[in-house]
């Protein structure tokens, strides 16, 4: 499995997918190549973005399968067929089962719009606003069996401003995501991220 052969998983708008595809086009993913988009929502805007970027897409509806495991087994078969070595979750709104986690242990990463472990799960930006924190941000982490619980690879802060709404704060958080995720994916694709228990180091 080569770290440089990447599949991006996304369920919605796909603005992070687009930022990653643009980074690859601009030579900012190092040797990293986005070989495949996987989406659980064939009608989602991200599918259109993949088409426009000329990236192959595997679009499957989980409800067309008898179980979550069978849905994921179909994905794993395609990933293996394409020799994918790194899975990048970018707004993929499903929990992953051992069918995918086991063959790709330590090779799946996610981006989350908060400073984990604060505000895991859904609506992280709304949760941060409701709590009244002054600083929130973005986390890129390895994926384990839990909900946003895997080892942290990188984090960046975003200040909450007086009068912020979910929309305003989300806009600033997204901008930070579009810068951070390609940087981390590049380091991963080049085999520069070391994992030791819960600790990670990005080698220069």
Point out which residues bind ligand GAR (CB under 6 A). Answer: 10, 12-16, 90-91, 111-113, 124, 148, 174, 177
Ligand-binding site membership of 107 (annotated): no
User: Shortest approach of ligand GAR to residue 45 CB, angstroms?
Assistant: 8
User: Shortest approach of ligand GAR to residue 143 CB, angstroms?
Assistant: 10
Q: 5, 41, 49, 112: which one is catalytic?
A: 112
Ligand-binding site membership of 15 (annotated): yes
Closer Cβ to ligand GAR, 167 or 196, answer by number: 167
> What is the C-alpha separation between 64 and 203, in angstroms, rounded?
42
Catalytic residue at 112?
yes
Neighbours of 6 (CB within 10 A): 23
Closer Cβ to ligand GAR, 2 or 183, answer by number: 183
User: Shortest approach of ligand GAR to residue 107 CB, angstroms?
Assistant: 18
Contact 2, 32 (CB under 8 A): no
Name 36's Cβ contacts closer than 8 Å, sequence gap at least 6: 6, 7, 8, 55, 56, 57, 58, 78, 79, 82, 84
Closer Cβ to ligand GAR, 2 or 13, answer by number: 13
Ligand-binding site membership of 16 (annotated): yes
Contact 36, 58 (CB under 8 A): yes
Residue 203: DSSP 8-state: -
Ligand-binding site membership of 67 (annotated): no
Counting every residue written for the chain, the total comes to 204
Q: What are the binding residues?
A: 14-16, 68, 93-96, 110
- Report the catalytic residues: 112
């Amino acid at each position: 499995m080569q770290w440089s052969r990447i599949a991006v998983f996304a369920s919605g708008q796909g603005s992070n997918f687009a930022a990653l595809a643009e980074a690859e086009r601009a030579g900012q993913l190092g040797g990293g190549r986005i070989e495949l988009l996987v989406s659980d929502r064939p009608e989602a805007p991200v599918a259109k973005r993949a088409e426009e970027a000329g990236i192959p897409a595997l679009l499957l509806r989980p409800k067309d399968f008898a179980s979550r495991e069978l849905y994921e087994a179909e994905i794993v078969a395609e990933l293996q067929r394409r020799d994918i070595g790194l899975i990048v979750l970018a707004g993929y709104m499903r929990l992953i089962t051992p069918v995918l986690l086991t063959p790709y242990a330590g090779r799946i990463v996610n981006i989350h719009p908060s400073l984990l472990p604060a505000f895991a799960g859904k609506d992280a930006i709304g949760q941060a606003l409701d709590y009244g924190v002054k600083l929130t941000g973005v986390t890129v982490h390895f994926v384990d069996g839990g909900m946003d619980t895997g080892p942290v690879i990188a984090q960046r802060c975003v200040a909450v401003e007086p009068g912020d709404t979910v929309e305003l704060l989300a806009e600033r958080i997204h901008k930070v995501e579009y810068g951070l995720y390609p940087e981390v994916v590049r380091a991963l694709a080049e085999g520069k991220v070391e994992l030791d228990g819960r600790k990670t180091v990005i080698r220069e």
